[in-house]
Structure 1
Amino acid sequence: MSFEEEIVLFIKSKAPFIYVISTEEERVEYALRKLMTFKLKRVVYIWDFVNGFNPKVSNETYKRNPFEALSKVRNIFLQIPSLIIFKDFYSFFPDLSISRELKSLLPILHKQPKTLVFINNQKISTSELQDKFVFIEFGLPSFSEIEKELNRLCNTLGISLKSELFNLIINSCKGLSLEKIRYLIAKSIAAKKKLDLSTVNLIIQEKKQIISRTEILEFWQPNENLDDIGGLDGLKSWLSKRKLHFSEVAKNYGLPVPRGILLVGVQGTGKSMTAKAIANDWFLPLLRLDTGRLFGGVVGESERRIREMIEISESLSPCILWIDEIEKSFTPTTQTGDSGTTNRVLSTLLTWLAEKQAFVFVVATANALENIQLELIRKGRFDEIFFLDLPNKNERKSIFEVQLKMFRPESWELYNINELSKLTPFFSGAEIKQLIIEAMYQAFSEGREFKTQDIINEIDNSIPLAKLQQESIQKLQAWARSGKIRLGSIDTSSTNKEN
């Protein structure tokens, strides 16, 4: 149900006090005036602490006197259908005279065609008054509202944008107020004299500042691309088909809200890198959830933090939410001796994963099969669950090529990549990168350029993690190949033979 529909329903059901939670007074006032003028035919009065009533009431404005302003409601607008909006009232609710006057107004307002609306960005903290109000949140601008505002700004400034950039700016603006959007657009034009990809980066930086004020989420600015990841062609193909699923076109097509993916696999196979690359390729902000910070010592604190995490993520949608090593915080062993806190936090998270409507794409990673909660891998929590195995020979060639191009973009072809890929079964992508780095250190200490043989020497001196944890990794591989999970790599035949 939309904000307008809820307000109409509340007024028709004779709710005397409506409390609108919002940081955007101007937008709320505009929406209410429009609704009263064209739909409910009510007169609108506004009161704030500095200016009093507008228009005046009985030739008085009642400035700086909240009690007097409230008490006048009973004797004015007697039979005139009206909506009376009170601003700046949050700090006055704890006052005994104010709370008493509100209670006294209740039976009167039930008989008169008046509705009082209070606007503030925080909910009433006075418990004795909470049941006297109906509460409604006025959400941040929708896609269509941002589109309308951006069109207005572009027409005013005489700017023409390509549809792809236009939609990209709209998506990046989601989660911000209209006032903030106007400021950022003006700032971008003042700096560049135009709107381009730097405008998107400016908006993302603003979102970064919002995230920095919290202690639960971290804002990441990734540089990785999907092309920087060697192999995993199955996962890349799946992701490429969903790159535009955050668009309004996809929504109008009837596609459901995307939920996300769970990446399970051996350490060092690119799970975290994939989360970063998705955000970068899709031009979306990346939020990393530190699950360790969810759990607080005070009773009820953990539950409050998981709700806050959800609210922040949804307010900044569309975005990528990265939950790294999710199994470590929600293992069966962590759910004993904490008075059920972990169960309640997990239950809140699972319900949100299954029912969320906001465009928050969750990328969760896990290393250990035995520690993954069954509830997490149940259908409906994620769009897909992928297994990221140790790279096969062809994927190792791709990884060596990507890494050598990064370290030696001009001379990478001088290295025998085919030979190196043959010698590195059981090595993960992260371990292959480290082999190259160690070979570089050795050659640098001898004052020369590193060669293929230097990397081979490091291979001979290294023991990959897959050999140290061979039993658990083989168990994980067997589970993945049983058909219960989707494989990140298209061709795993060579991996099976080698490993």
Structure 2
Amino acid sequence: MDFEKKIKTTLISNNFLIYVSTEEEERLEYILKQIINQLFKARIYSWNFIDGYTDNPNYISQCRQNPLEALNMITKNNDKKTKVFFLKDFHVFLKDISISRKLKNLYQYLKKSNQYVILSGTEIHLPTELKEYITYFQMPLPNKKEILIEINRFLYKIDTNQLKYKEAICMAYTGFSINKIRKSLFKLILNNISQNQIIEKILQEKEEITQKTEGLKFYSSYNNKLELGGLQNLKNWLKIRNLAFTKKAYSYGITRPKGILLVGIQGTGKSLSAKIIANEWNIPLFRLNVSKIFAGILGESENRIEKIISICEKSSPCILWIDEIDKIFSEYNNTNDSGTKQRVTNIFLTWLSEKKQGVFIVATANTINQLPVEILRKGRFDEIFFVDLPNFKERLKIFQIHLKMFRPLTWNKYNIYYLSKISKGFSGAEIEQSIIDAMYTGFYENREFTTIDLKNAIYKIIPLSKIERNKILNLRKWGYSGKIKIA
């Protein structure tokens, strides 16, 4: 159900006190005026703390800087045609005992007079004592239809008739408020940005906006240079679900995938997989940094994780990448934090199970030991994959990928068959490091690096498979136990 229908249904269902959480006050007021006119053929009377009531001729500018009097004025109103009062920024006053008591009293009056009070604010939660009286919901960010209206309004001079191109712009603007979309489009026009650069510029703006949110980072999915060697089973699983977030999949009745957990040895491409998936599926990628979520102020950590969840849901379809999720649970265990870590974990785990929006989780872990049992059970993730060290064929591919990146024209002059043979037990990251070390040698001696330089670099590196031999043997034993899939 879209927001307009939800408001209409709420009003005609005799919900007389309504609270709407949003940061888009202007857009909310516009929508409310349209709905109130349709339902009651009446105007909506608005109040704000500085100006008081602004559009009621009977008591214009009254109740300035007095929220309690603003509520009292509703009961004093003699105009029987008045149906709806819209009180802005009212979340600030809800914890005041006099306001709280007045709203409870006012509820009975509104029922008798068949009038409505709509409160707006940015707080997500209502005080416990008011939950019985006030109907609460969040106003979602603009949907595709609203974004398209703005695109057509601003970019009429640019040839945006191609449906596929409009879809791409809509996807880029997902998660923006109407005001931010308008400012962005105005800036694009002012700077005479070409059609080919529009999406890139929008994604840059999205990255800047996301940086203001503690614990969340945005990555652009427009990077065609990314390539992953090996992990064929994982690639096949993802390929089948490539169109899972499209209208066609929805019409077919497909359930949107929840996410995957990648467990395995460090440097084997688990983190890179998140970027590859975003690139292949062409949807936004967010990275969760849990260490930045925890704050010293009581309740702030919970607010941050809820805000991050809200941003991801509003930007759906998208991917949320949680790197080294095993460290999250080990790092904050047994800390004297008054239960903050546990509450944050519970909020996140509950969301993982219950989320319905198109947010695909890609979580990575280097070990399974630190993860709680509840995160491994079915329902949190669609699948758990074990990512092993690359075999001979996969090492061939990894050498080819990295050498093509560093030497796109002469990569085939290196004996990658021999190099793959002598690098048994190396991870993809260690293979890349051996190439970098060989390049340093060639550069120092003022010549091109050779296969011999690569061989020497490989022999000098002690891979993690030797340093942490027992740990990796136990991890591989678990990985091939048949309990999970091999990536």
Does TM, normalized by the shorter one, top 0.5?
yes
- Partner Cα distance (1:453, 1:145) in 2: 60
Q: Is the 8 A contact 1:159 1:194 kept in 2?
A: no
Residues 254 and 144 (structure 1 numbering): CA distance in 2 closer, same or farther, change over 3 Å?
farther
Residue 253 of structure 1 aligns with which residue?
252
Q: Is the 8 A contact 1:188 1:195 kept in 2?
A: no
How far 1:465 moved relative to its partner? Answer: 1.2
The 5-angstrom pairing of residues 193-342 of structure 1 reads 194-196=194-196, 198-221=197-220, 225=224, 228-297=227-296, 299-331=298-330, 334=333, 340-342=339-341
TM-score w.r.t. the length of structure 1 is 0.85
TM-score w.r.t. the length of structure 2 is 0.87
SS at the partner of 2:481? helix
- Partner Cα distance (2:253, 2:394) in 1: 36
What amino acid maps onto 1:387 in structure 2? Answer: F
For residues 229-275 of structure 1, what are the alpha-carbon distances to aligned partners after superposition, in whole Å with 9 as ceiling and x for unaligned? 22222222333343333334433333223322211111111111122
Q: Is the 8 A contact 1:124 1:130 kept in 2?
A: no
- Partner Cα distance (1:409, 1:17) in 2: 66
For residues 7-35 of structure 1, what are the alpha-carbon distances to aligned partners after superposition, in whole Å with 9 as ceiling and x for unaligned? 34543454443222212223222322332
Residues 91 and 178 (structure 1 numbering): CA distance in 2 closer, same or farther, change over 3 Å?
same
For residues 40-85 of structure 1, what are the alpha-carbon distances to aligned partners after superposition, in whole Å with 9 as ceiling and x for unaligned? 5554333446666565433855384656654442243554361122
Counterpart check, 1:378 vs 2:377? yes
What amino acid maps onto 1:175 in structure 2? Answer: G
The 5-angstrom pairing of residues 102-251 of structure 1 reads 102=103, 105-122=106-123, 133-154=134-155, 156-157=156-157, 159-192=159-192, 194-196=194-196, 198-221=197-220, 225=224, 228-251=227-250
More displaced stretch, 29-38 vs 54-63: 54-63
SS at the partner of 1:362? strand
Residues 14 and 55 (structure 1 numbering): CA distance in 2 closer, same or farther, change over 3 Å?
same
Cα-Cα RMSD? 3.3
Q: Is the 8 A contact 1:335 1:341 kept in 2?
A: no
For residues 183-231 of structure 1, what are the alpha-carbon distances to aligned partners after superposition, in whole Å with 9 as ceiling and x for unaligned? 22232233345544x2222222222222222222233457865752222
More displaced stretch, 106-115 vs 400-409: 106-115
How far 1:327 moved relative to its partner? Answer: 0.8
How far 1:103 moved relative to its partner? Answer: 5.7
Residues 210 and 406 (structure 1 numbering): CA distance in 2 closer, same or farther, change over 3 Å?
same
Q: Is the 8 A contact 2:218 2:285 kept in 1?
A: yes
For residues 76-113 of structure 1, what are the alpha-carbon distances to aligned partners after superposition, in whole Å with 9 as ceiling and x for unaligned? 35543611223355566678886676565444322102
Residue 466 of structure 1 aligns with which residue?
465
SS at the partner of 2:431? helix
Counterpart check, 1:354 vs 2:353? yes
How far 1:159 moved relative to its partner? Answer: 3.0
Q: Is the 8 A contact 2:217 2:288 kept in 1?
A: yes
Q: Is the 8 A contact 1:266 1:389 kept in 2?
A: yes
Q: Is the 8 A contact 2:392 2:420 kept in 1?
A: yes
What amino acid maps onto 2:252 in structure 1? Answer: Y
Residues 95 and 421 (structure 1 numbering): CA distance in 2 closer, same or farther, change over 3 Å?
closer
Residue 80 of structure 1 aligns with which residue?
81
- Partner Cα distance (1:96, 1:295) in 2: 30
Q: Is the 8 A contact 2:265 2:472 kept in 1?
A: yes
**Alignment: residue pair count:** 486
Residues 352 and 123 (structure 1 numbering): CA distance in 2 closer, same or farther, change over 3 Å?
closer
Q: Is the 8 A contact 2:89 2:122 kept in 1?
A: no
Quick one: percent identity of the two aligned structures? 43
Counterpart check, 1:36 vs 2:58? no
SS at the partner of 1:382? coil
- Partner Cα distance (2:213, 2:76) in 1: 46
What amino acid maps onto 2:182 in structure 1? Answer: R
For residues 264-292 of structure 1, what are the alpha-carbon distances to aligned partners after superposition, in whole Å with 9 as ceiling and x for unaligned? 11111111112223334444433222222
What amino acid maps onto 2:259 in structure 1? Answer: G
For residues 115-172 of structure 1, what are the alpha-carbon distances to aligned partners after superposition, in whole Å with 9 as ceiling and x for unaligned? 1112233468888767653322111112333244434555x44633433222121122
Q: Is the 8 A contact 2:91 2:122 kept in 1?
A: no
SS at the partner of 2:313? helix
SS at the partner of 2:287? strand
Residues 355 and 102 (structure 1 numbering): CA distance in 2 closer, same or farther, change over 3 Å?
closer
Q: Is the 8 A contact 1:225 1:277 kept in 2?
A: no
How far 1:378 moved relative to its partner? Answer: 1.7
- Partner Cα distance (1:293, 1:50) in 2: 36
Q: Is the 8 A contact 2:71 2:102 kept in 1?
A: yes
SS at the partner of 1:441? helix
Counterpart check, 1:390 vs 2:389? yes
What amino acid maps onto 2:179 in structure 1? Answer: E
How far 1:399 moved relative to its partner? Answer: 0.8
- Partner Cα distance (1:282, 1:192) in 2: 29
More displaced stretch, 297-306 vs 416-425: 297-306
What amino acid maps onto 2:87 in structure 1? Answer: F
- Partner Cα distance (1:124, 1:342) in 2: 20
Q: Is the 8 A contact 1:79 1:113 kept in 2?
A: no
Q: Is the 8 A contact 2:385 2:484 kept in 1?
A: yes
- Partner Cα distance (2:97, 2:331) in 1: 49
More displaced stretch, 456-465 vs 246-255: 246-255
SS at the partner of 1:449? coil
The 5-angstrom pairing of residues 13-92 of structure 1 reads 13-48=13-48, 53=53, 55-58=55-58, 60=60, 62=62, 64=64, 66=66, 70-76=71-77, 78-80=79-81, 82-87=83-88, 89=90
Residues 424 and 92 (structure 1 numbering): CA distance in 2 closer, same or farther, change over 3 Å?
closer
Q: Is the 8 A contact 2:222 2:282 kept in 1?
A: no
The 5-angstrom pairing of residues 371-450 of structure 1 reads 371-450=370-449
Q: Is the 8 A contact 1:216 1:294 kept in 2?
A: yes
More displaced stretch, 239-248 vs 272-281: 239-248
- Partner Cα distance (2:186, 2:337) in 1: 50
Residues 291 and 54 (structure 1 numbering): CA distance in 2 closer, same or farther, change over 3 Å?
closer
- Partner Cα distance (1:333, 1:101) in 2: 43
Unmatched runs of 5 consecutive residues or more in structure 2: none
Residues 455 and 268 (structure 1 numbering): CA distance in 2 closer, same or farther, change over 3 Å?
same
